[in-house]
A and B are shown apart, each in its own frame.
Chain A
């Protein structure tokens, strides 16, 4: 697991992004900092509207002009936010590339896939059309598209969902980027296809040794791929840790809530899925103190939780959490035990509802409300 071997390739320092509206500024990203090094995968997790995508677009420099971005985005020590548009354009798709979530919408319907790939190659390399074409056929092959020569001249609508996402990945790695940002790369795909696409990602990363920022609401994807995890809530980082610490020793009630809403299919436990009560807060009028306090079971109210905003503080080496009670939270095992009475209660049949059991699916809508995307 990831010991930091090298200097980070990309460092985000105290990133703030706000959008002015008629009702006031919406603070979409509020002081986020993180590092990603070579061959490292940072998973960024959070509900819709937690600022994951805005963070990635800020790194790419693709936010609309009205967005106010402050802080630092250091790429190999150079602050991208101070660069001119031309210089950023050279980095985009070259050194820093991005995979978008809905590949059907993200590919231009009127150009062939091969044309769009070759375009990415030619945007950063002085090569002939022929060379660009052979490179893009090669790219399609790398991401595992069968018969890449014929597929090269097809349009996006002639590709299946999984193949489109592979083509998106091929486009992103066209110039062997140092930083690869993947925004929900598997969200629009079937589960089986998701696994294939993730496998492509892993294979690609072995080749390119890129620093990968993997944005997702799918904790399963994070568990399989990420070295470090950044959990975001209401535009702020609430917990940062190595992936195992997130899953086995989370020190933030919100992360625990996310984990609790994951179904276990290994048959170990028979607890009911929990969901985080309430809705994500308005970014226009965020709650005072800790933004999570209205939904938190552990909140001290009224008290520190709705008065003081907890800062992200180191509670163990490499493990930071923004919670007043981070050190005092019960262990994960103990927290699971809290549900035991509830499970018994359900098994006794005194509550009308779906039978509980290992395969029970409780409310899973917490992570992604229908029709929305992170």
Chain B
């Protein structure tokens, strides 16, 4: 088992490196960090930013242009300073230097707020993790319960009901469901019962006590949960159906075990294996994937941070953000592999 884990970890390192190269190239190719200075008249401001970000490097020389009479003259800024031109840095070097800075934890600060990116990311991650933790907890509990029930009582009334509901849930985009949830949970309920405050809050995560925490998180967690509950329920149902038709379930029954033991021990222990791995992979992509939900509920999480950084061309945040969410995807894929090995003894030996 230990060698199995070590091998899987070792395999994910090159994946992470390739991901970082791609992320770096894509950001450099798609986002012009100097564009936000388009309205600034001073060409040296752009140069200073380029130097700070690492697009250019010393040596810098005054830029010489050709005057109207053919003479070489030094270009001047509107303030009368000489315009400086610096050496461009090749992208490969930029990447190498950036990774060096990352290793030394010396990343450039956010252009928007001026705060260190590590601080920005840590804060955003804190909010997102809370959302993911509760969302996944609730979703997993409901999805497993509904999936197992649907499989054990296939074609029962409740099975049909769950199937219908999952399709409704899958068909509802989160932005629509989120807005509806606010309309109902915050606005309608408050007006209907003449409350001073909304029953469920639609903004932010606050925690003055568990009750307030729950009232803040209920709607975003529901919005996040609805979709994953739906897909996980379908998944659990089909894997459980497979398992319940397996020969070893018949053997378990033939031993004289109770129905509960047959379903919950022999059935669920096998039926959970595929879901757990799917869950791990899904969770990995949630770290960077809650952009809409966080935007709707004004939660200062990873999704929101990405959105504002993208809008403002803040590459200093965008780059580490993308690297971090890629890391989470890879990490949770790794976790999925390891869990699969831990849950299924047949995988461990091979």
Contacts and interface: CB of A to CB of B under 8 A. Distances in A.
A109 interface: yes
A107 B255 contact: no
A109 B248 contact: yes
Determine which residue in A85, A119, A124 has the highest number of CB atoms from chain B within 10 A of its CB, and name it. A119
Interface in A105-124: 105-111, 119-120, 123-124
A97 B254 contact: yes
A192 B258 CA distance: 37
Interface stretch (B95-103, B197-205, B232-240, B338-346): B338-346
Interface stretch (A87-95, A282-290, A363-371): A87-95
Contact of B270 (A97, A105, A108, A168): A108
A108 B252 contact: yes
B250 A120 contact: no
A93 B345 CA distance: 26
B256 A94 contact: yes
A123 B259 CA distance: 12
A92 B247 contact: no
A157 B259 CA distance: 26
B346 A98 contact: no
Contact of A100 (B250, B343, B346): B250
Determine which residue in B252, B256, B269 has the highest number of CB atoms from chain A within 10 A of its CB, and name it. B256
Nearest to A105: B247
A229 interface: no
A85 B256 CA distance: 10
A274 B251 CA distance: 37
B270 A110 contact: yes
A201 interface: no
Contacts, number: 71
Contacts of A91: 256
A107 B266 CA distance: 10
A62 B258 contact: no
B255 A106 contact: no
Contacts of A32: none
Given A106-B250, A108-B248, A108-B270, A119 B255 contact: yes
Contacts of B346: 109, 155, 157
Given A110-B270, A110-B345, A155-B345, A105 B248 contact: yes
Contact of A108 (B259, B266, B349): B266
Interface in B255-286: 255-259, 266, 269-270, 273
Determine which residue in B257, B266, B273, B344 has the highest number of CB atoms from chain A within 10 A of its CB, and name it. B257
A184 interface: no
Contacts of A124: 256
Contacts of A93: 254-257
A98 B252 CA distance: 11
Contact of B251 (A85, A100, A155): A100
B250 A62 contact: yes
Nearest to B350: A157
Contacts of A109: 248, 270, 344-346
B246 interface: yes
A60 interface: yes
Nearest to A101: B247
B26 to A, nearest CB: 42
B251 to A, nearest CB: 5
B256 A123 contact: yes
Interface of A: 60, 62, 85, 89-94, 97-98, 100, 102, 105-111, 119-120, 123-124, 155, 157-158, 168, 171
Given A62-B250, A92-B255, A109-B270, 14 more contacts: A91-B256, A92-B256, A93-B254, A93-B256, A94-B256, A98-B254, A100-B247, A105-B248, A109-B346, A110-B273, A120-B255, A155-B345, A157-B345, A157-B349
14 contacts: A60-B254, A89-B256, A89-B257, A92-B256, A93-B254, A100-B250, A108-B252, A111-B269, A123-B256, A123-B257, A155-B345, A155-B346, A157-B346, A171-B255
